[in-house]
Structure 1
Amino acid sequence: MSELVAFPTAGTATSVGVVLLLVGAVTKSALVPFHFWLPGAMVAPTPISAYLHAAAMVKAGVYLVARFAPAYADLPAWQVTVLVLGSATMLLGAFRATRQNDLKLLLAYGTVSQLGFLVILLGYGSTGATLAGLTLLVAHALFKSSLFLAVGTIDHATGTRDIPV
């Protein structure tokens, strides 16, 4: 990976390879159109949900975007994919989060939205956006795991995760 980033190539094969890399990142990090699997994983026990949303499970695709952005952020295929899918995921996740009555699903769609935002920031390729993205990445891991564990405590104490309407 270090050599690819240090000595990026150009051409059609590179563009195809970058798009395929982004497809892998998009599926792993639950971006549109593959966003459905992350909220679907909420049947797992709460500590597992905290791990899925805060740690390495969904951040692996974001990591790939962050690693390859310095080399390929100037490619039109990269820019369009990152901007369109990241923005769509951020907006869809935020909208769907506001429509949830289950606390875990609300947090799950919030994570989907944050993943879209992270991909936009880290995929932009500038130093400032990368620093902002890394800060958000750490902050998200810290607060999201705590929120999921709090929901687990609420569920255990009350027997439900539903928000009264």
Structure 2
Amino acid sequence: MWLRRASSLILVGAFTKSAQFPFHFWLPDAMAAPSPVSAYLHSATMVKAGIYLIARFNHDIGGTALWQDTILFTGAATMIFAGLLSYRQSDLKRLLAYSTLSVLGTLVMLLGIGSKLAIKAFFIYLIAHSLYKGTLFLVAGTLDHETGTRDVLKLGGLWKAMPVTAALASFSMMGVIPR
């Protein structure tokens, strides 16, 4: 009985920290922050702390039906819900925030699946997301500064006007490591 209560409390804390459904609302609302702060919050330390907590306890508590089912279904719900909400966004930083939510849901879902392949995919995706999402938030700040807008409906064709920024963001998404 105590394990069930402890598991529930740990998961509520981790889901809140990593913006899992139904605690997803705070992440897109944090977009008022300047771009370097957004890059930090949404690509690395801040939202990954809850994911890290789930991953750390997954070995000790994982395997129980309550734990595995809860993180599997919560992750899947977050991934799908955030993906659907992203379709209605035209603000670049909010769009990136909803895509971050979807990735966080995918990471939690992979932990819920729990197979060796899913855990390997979890670690690869965790690192890849941290590397490319920080760059994209900084690019969003650069675009906002240079164009005066974050409305994606008004930002078409910018690769011609900002080729270096476009190249850096593209290389980041592809996983190209600078030498």
TM over 0.5: yes
Partner of 1:5: none
Distance, in Å, in 2 between the alignment partners of 1:98 and 1:20 is: 32
Q: Give aligned pairs, total.
A: 154
Aligned to 2:153, the other structure's residue is in SS state: coil
Distance (whole Å) between structure 2 residues aligned to residue 156 and residue 145 of structure 1: 17
Q: 2:127 aligns with which of 109, 130, 138?
A: 138
Residue of structure 1 equivalent to 2:113: 124
Residue pair 1:32, 1:89 contacting (<8 A) in 2 also: yes
Q: Which residue of 2 aligns with 1:162?
A: 151
Q: Distance in 1 between matches of 2:6 and 2:77?
A: 23
Give the equivalent residue in structure 1 for 2:164: none
| Amino acid aligned to 2:24 | H
1:10-66 CA-partner distances (Å, limit 9, x unpaired): xx2112111111111000000011100000000000110000011110000100111
**CA offsets, 1:124-162, max 9 Å, x none?**
333221111011000000010011111111101100000
Q: Please identify, of 122-131 and 103-112, the stretch whose mean Cα deviation from structure 2 is larger.
A: 122-131
How many Å apart are 1:114 and its aligned residue? 0.5
Q: What is the root-mean-square deviation in Å for CA atoms of aligned residues?
A: 1.2
Q: Which has the higher contact order (CA 8 A, sep 6+)?
A: 1
Q: How far 1:101 sits from its partner (Å)?
A: 0.4
Pairing 1:66–2:55 present? yes
State whether residues 88 and 116 of structure 1, in contact with CA within 8 Å, keep that contact through their aligned partners in structure 2: yes
Provide structure 1 residue ranges, at least 5 long, that are not aligned to the other structure: 1-11
Give yes or no for the alignment of 1:83 onto 2:72.
yes
SS in 2 for 1:119: helix
Q: 1:61-97 CA deviation, whole Å, 9 max, x = no partner?
A: 1001111112222212112211221111000111111
Match of residue 51, structure 1, among 12, 18, 40 = 40
The residue aligned with 2:84 is 95
Instruction: Give the aligned residue type for 2:79.
Output: M
Structure 1, 67-76 or 113-122: larger mean CA deviation: 67-76
Q: TM-score, normalized by length of structure 1?
A: 0.89
TM-score normalised per structure 2: 0.83
8 Å contact kept, 2:69–2:112: no
Give the Cα–Cα distance (whole angstroms) in 1 for the partners of residues 66 and 9 of structure 2: 10
Show the counterpart of 2:141: 152
C-alpha separation between the residues in 1 aligned to 2:11 and 2:119? 17
| Residue ranges of structure 2 left out of the alignment (5+ in a row) | 155-179
Residue pair 2:70, 2:112 contacting (<8 A) in 1 also? no
Matched to 1:74, the amino acid is G
